[in-house]
Amino acid sequence: MDIYQSIYDKLDRIGVFSVNQYTVIEKPPDLPLCIDRLSDDVYALSHNPVIEGVVVADPDMEIRVSHRTRTAEPLLFQDRSGKRVVYPEPGKVNLTVKNDLAEYLDRWLSDLLSKGYIRSQ
Edge-to-edge strand list for the sheet holding 33-37: 22-25, 33-37, 42-46, 60-66, 71-79, 82-85
DSSP lists the bridge partners of residue 35 as 23, 45
- Tell me the residue ranges of DSSP E strands in 21-121: 22-25, 33-37, 42-46, 50-51, 54-55, 60-66, 71-79, 82-85
The reported pTM is: 0.91
How far apart, in whole angstroms, are the C-alpha atoms of residue 101 and residue 84? Answer: 9
Local confidence pLDDT in tens for the 121 residues of the chain: 799 999 999 999 999 999 999 999 998 888 999 999 999 999 999 988 777 787 777 789 999 999 999 999 999 999 888 999 999 999 999 999 999 999 999 999 999 999 999 987 5
Give Cα 98 to chain centroid, integer Å. 13
